[in-house]
A = this chain, B = another copy of it.
């Protein structure tokens, strides 16, 4: 067993960040009330519920608050955009510490696009994306992070990758996954299994 107390800080960071399995990574698009756009990569997207449709994001502490969090609190609007293999370098680059006045859309070349009724910008290159309305910020006292809860209000997904039962073949859109702080992966479907019940064996759906 590895005991954590003895590990060097950076080694420990890499180890703990890759210990939690493959992560749901995405680009979060926001805009402040002056109209400055911001785009940032997050690897902490988590499903909270389907009805109401809710998702969560862990946001790290910083003083002054990072642009993404400040913009969400100011405008109550943000978008979540899938990252595809062709966008990895640009998505990774959004994690550099740019000044607040600089838009990561401009520095990375990813294009912003707007949809009626949604204040925050989407990423044009993302095939799967959705808009969230800010619901709640929960402060996690033990390490100063915050858990941001959002309600999913509008969804953009191509019809041809949605199955009859609503399941989205996100691998067909080239959505990637990640682990650690910097490692990106493509995926291959093994199988889908039917709803599990006691005393019976789940069947292969596809």
Chain A interfacial positions (CB closer than 8 Å to B) = 1-4, 7, 9-26, 43-56, 58, 82, 85, 88-89, 92-98, 102, 107, 115, 128, 130, 135-136, 138, 140, 142-143, 145, 147, 149, 152-157, 162-163, 165-168, 170-171, 175-177, 179-198, 201-202, 205
A53 contact from B12, B165, B192, Cβ within 8 A: B12
Nearest 10 Cβ contacts at the A-B interface: A14-B166, A11-B166, A21-B24, A22-B177, A15-B166, A96-B196, A18-B168, A185-B187, A16-B50, A2-B155
- Residues B180 and A185 in contact, CB atoms below 8 Å apart: no
Q: A21-B82, A98-B198 are in contact. Are A53 and B4 (CB under 8 A)?
A: yes
- Residues A89 and B202 in contact, CB atoms below 8 Å apart: yes
Q: What CA separation (Å) do A10 and B163 show in the bound complex?
A: 12
29 A-B contact pairs sorted by A residue (CB < 8 Å): A1-B156, A2-B157, A12-B50, A14-B163, A14-B166, A14-B167, A16-B53, A17-B47, A18-B166, A18-B167, A19-B152, A20-B45, A20-B46, A22-B22, A22-B170, A22-B177, A46-B46, A48-B143, A48-B145, A49-B145, A52-B143, A54-B140, A88-B190, A89-B201, A94-B196, A98-B198, A140-B149, A170-B179, A182-B193
- Residues A47 and B20 in contact, CB atoms below 8 Å apart: yes
- Residues A189 and B185 in contact, CB atoms below 8 Å apart: yes
Residue with the greatest number of chain B CB neighbours at <10 A, chosen from A45, A55, A165 = A165
- Residues A47 and B43 in contact, CB atoms below 8 Å apart: yes
A21 contact from B25, B54, B92, B198, Cβ within 8 A: B25
Give the Cβ gap from A129 to chain B, nearest Cβ, in Å: 9
Q: What CA separation (Å) do A110 and B174 show in the bound complex?
A: 33
Give the Cβ gap from A197 to chain B, nearest Cβ, in Å: 5
A17 contact from B19, B26, B50, B188, Cβ within 8 A: B50
Q: A153-B4, A166-B15 are in contact. Are A45 and B21 (CB under 8 A)?
A: yes
- Residues B47 and A168 in contact, CB atoms below 8 Å apart: no
Q: What CA separation (Å) do A103 and B128 show in the bound complex?
A: 39
